[in-house]
Amino acid sequence: MKPYDLIVAGGGTAGALSAIAAARCGLRTAVIERSSCLGGNMTISGLTEMNAPTFHGQPIYRGIEAEIMNTMIRSGDAALYTEVPFSSNPSVKVDRLRYNPEILKILLDRMAADAGVEIRYFAEIQNAEKEALAPDSVRLTVRDNFGTSEVFTARYLIDATGSAAAIRMLGGETTRAEVGKTMINTLMFRLSGIEQNALDAFVHSAALSETIQLGMREGVLYGKILAFTPIPGTKDVSVNVTRINEDFEDPIGMSRAVTEARAQILPILQFIRARVPGLEHAALAGIAPILGVRDSRTIRGSYCLGIDDLEHMTEFEDSIAQGCYPVDIHDPATGGVTFQVLPGVYHIPYRSLIPAGLHRTLAAGKILCCDRKAYGAVRVMPIMMNVGESAGYAAACAAQNHLDLDRIPAATLQAFLKKKYSCPPSDPPAG
């Protein structure tokens, strides 16, 4: 098979944008994705709300990310809301982009096809050959659901699997929270038959917190969260309420967790139908096919993004992405959500994407090198899309300059990114 310029392992939140960005720059790009759509957590875990896509209504994202947001806003399949409080802590507010994930699946397919990305769905990375053994290329063995194994070779690899699966196979070091200290998991579900005005009034009243307290006392709710997100273009809401404390790397525990999370849904539905105005006639319209896992491994990279960097909004000469989301940790010890509001727009350096000891591989998405508190902030979708898109441009910049990914001078990368984020002129989301 003809070698690719770039393989993106995992076509999720970050990986989809990496692939589209690199392919638009002319790189022959393949995505290996184990599910049947692009977007990962954005499209398959029942989530319908991008957190902090703007900062107090001001656009902060450009490029492909802004193109995606604006395309959905224009078609009525997304809508931007400013300063929306959290159900778990109403004094903390961030802007949100609410969207229809089914439309996003179709949009990402189309954008990837138009860019010339080759997608392999139902396919998983089975093995990655150590760089020293494959000095001029990255070699990955990919196995699909149909029982076929195939070797893919490329000049560069972006690991966007959300678990650093490929980087670990290459011998890259990773770290993770201690067992028992990982963030709580959630199985999202969707309700139809909503009376939206009544629900809106309830969500913006003190009755929401009282209902959460009551649900916890009655043993129906397992944490201080009851979040309803209206899905633009539909009459449905997605519900973020189930809580399940299980280690994300324990296969037996994860099977038990998804079963237990599903079992929480009917008692919750009965409770909210009786207590929440607007949901009296709500019907269960869907349960996410996968358990939403907030935690993950992170790589040991050339730079470890720390909470200090976010608090001080450190400007890096190799800054490649930005964000403004607060630290948001779903604490297994308390069952609650701990927030730390940050002062403004912070930056993510390219070096936090470079796995120590690897030269032709980047980490994109929530596996980037950061400390636990910084992880709690940067893990949200708008930031991960920005990281993914910039990782794709970095691969294109490296290819254009015949460099390894860990050898791109900061100034060269910045000049490349500046061009890509302003050309073609992007249409940032309206505030």
Ligand X SMILES: Cc1cc2nc3c(=O)[nH]c(=O)nc-3n(C[C@H](O)[C@H](O)[C@H](O)COP(=O)(O)OP(=O)(O)OC[C@H]3O[C@@H](n4cnc5c(N)ncnc54)[C@H](O)[C@@H]3O)c2cc1C
Residues of this chain that bind ligand X (CB under 6 A)? 9-15, 32-35, 40-42, 45, 47, 49-51, 124-125, 160-163, 165, 186, 292-294, 365-366, 379-381, 384
Around Cβ 180, how many Cβ atoms within 10 Å? 9
Least distance in angstroms from the C-beta of 122 to ligand X:
9
The sign of the CA dihedral 426, 160, 49, 102 is: positive
Q: For residues 375 and 357, what is the distance between their CA atoms, to the nearest angstrom?
A: 22
- The residue written with tokens 């993510």 in the block is 348
Query: ∠308-321-312 over CA atoms, to 5°?
Result: 20
Around Cβ 265, how many Cβ atoms within 10 Å? 16
For ligand X, the closer of residues 214 and 287 by Cβ is 287
The sign of the CA dihedral 343, 427, 36, 173 is: negative
Q: For residues 273 and 261, what is the distance between their CA atoms, to the nearest angstrom?
A: 19
For ligand X, the closer of residues 58 and 401 by Cβ is 58
Least distance in angstroms from the C-beta of 353 to ligand X:
12
Least distance in angstroms from the C-beta of 255 to ligand X:
17
For ligand X, the closer of residues 326 and 349 by Cβ is 326
Q: For residues 84 and 100, what is the distance between their CA atoms, to the nearest angstrom?
A: 18
For ligand X, the closer of residues 165 and 397 by Cβ is 165
Least distance in angstroms from the C-beta of 252 to ligand X:
19
For ligand X, the closer of residues 5 and 49 by Cβ is 49
For ligand X, the closer of residues 190 and 294 by Cβ is 294
Q: For residues 421 and 63, what is the distance between their CA atoms, to the nearest angstrom?
A: 5
For ligand X, the closer of residues 244 and 396 by Cβ is 244
User: Which of 87-118 are b and which e, b meaning 16 or more Cβ less than 10 Å from the residue's Cβ?
Assistant: bbbeeeebbbbbbbbebbbebbbebbeebebb
Residues 6+ apart with CB under 8 A from 283: 191, 192, 193
Q: For residues 103 and 75, what is the distance between their CA atoms, to the nearest angstrom?
A: 10
Least distance in angstroms from the C-beta of 267 to ligand X:
19
Around Cβ 216, how many Cβ atoms within 10 Å? 15
Least distance in angstroms from the C-beta of 171 to ligand X:
16
Least distance in angstroms from the C-beta of 398 to ligand X:
21
For ligand X, the closer of residues 14 and 69 by Cβ is 14
Least distance in angstroms from the C-beta of 33 to ligand X:
5
